[in-house]
């Protein structure tokens, strides 16, 4: 039943629809079409545009990934910035900040490059802060 309906549409109704379309003989004839004639052409033109796009789509250049993309994909995303503090008793200085954004010029020590990275990408990565426990 369904296939018979589809066959009837393709064999009879589609050719009848296409014959009634107001296709001009020349390019200049498109300028003389009325609004109602353009509206009748719209579905066909839309389908042709879609088919054309799908045909050339594999040859279009791929979108490049953003140079500064997210680093932190799932850790504490509800926080504006991820900062962990760990007390370490054997530190020579009272505290140390270590880079977790991989953009520091003094890596592995943090130089606050994560601030610019977070502004560019919307990420929330921050430094690892090690603190010496004061007894």
Domain count, the chain: 2
pLDDT in tens, 55-114: 999 998 876 655 556 776 667 788 888 887 766 776 777 888 888 888 888 878 899 989
pLDDT in tens, 99-120: 888 888 887 889 998 998 888 8
Shared-domain flag, residues 24 and 75: no
Q: Which two tokens stand for residue 117?
A: 């990275």
Going by C-alpha positions, the residue among 14, 23, 53 that lies closest to residue 41 is 23
- Domain range holding 19? 1-57
Return d(Cα 109, Cα 126) in angstroms, integer.
12
In-domain check, residue 62:
no
Shared-domain flag, residues 74 and 35: no
Which of the residues 81, 112, 131, 132 is marked catalytic?
81
Report residue 39's pLDDT band, with 50, 70 and 90 as the boundaries: very high
Return d(Cα 116, Cα 50) in angstroms, integer.
41
- Whether 81 sits among the annotated catalytic residues: the reply is yes
Shared-domain flag, residues 44 and 2: yes
pLDDT at site 52: 96
pLDDT at site 66: 57
Q: What is the pTM of this model?
A: 0.41
Mean pLDDT, to the nearest integer, of 125-132?
87
Going by C-alpha positions, the residue among 101, 117, 97 that lies closest to residue 109 is 97
pLDDT(35) > 90 = yes
Mean pLDDT, to the nearest integer, of 34-51?
92
Q: Which two tokens stand for residue 133?
A: 């426990």
pLDDT at site 74: 65
Shared-domain flag, residues 79 and 123: yes
We report the CATH number of the domain holding residue 115 as 3.40.5.90
Going by C-alpha positions, the residue among 58, 56, 24 that lies closest to residue 41 is 24
């Amino acid at each position: 039943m369904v296939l018979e309906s589809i066959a009837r549409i393709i064999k009879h109704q589609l050719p009848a629809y296409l014959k009634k379309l107001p296709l001009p003989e020349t390019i200049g004839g498109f300028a003389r079409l009325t609004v109602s004639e353009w509206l009748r052409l719209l579905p066909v033109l839309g389908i042709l545009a879609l088919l054309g796009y799908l045909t050339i789509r594999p040859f279009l250049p791929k979108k490049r990934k953003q140079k500064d993309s997210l680093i932190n994909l799932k850790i504490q995303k509800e926080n504006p910035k991820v900062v962990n503090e760990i007390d370490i008793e054997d530190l020579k200085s009272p505290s140390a900040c270590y880079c977790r954004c991989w953009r520091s010029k003094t890596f592995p020590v943090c130089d606050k490059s994560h601030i610019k990275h977070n502004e560019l990408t919307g990420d929330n990565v921050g430094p690892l802060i090690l603190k010496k426990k004061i007894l």
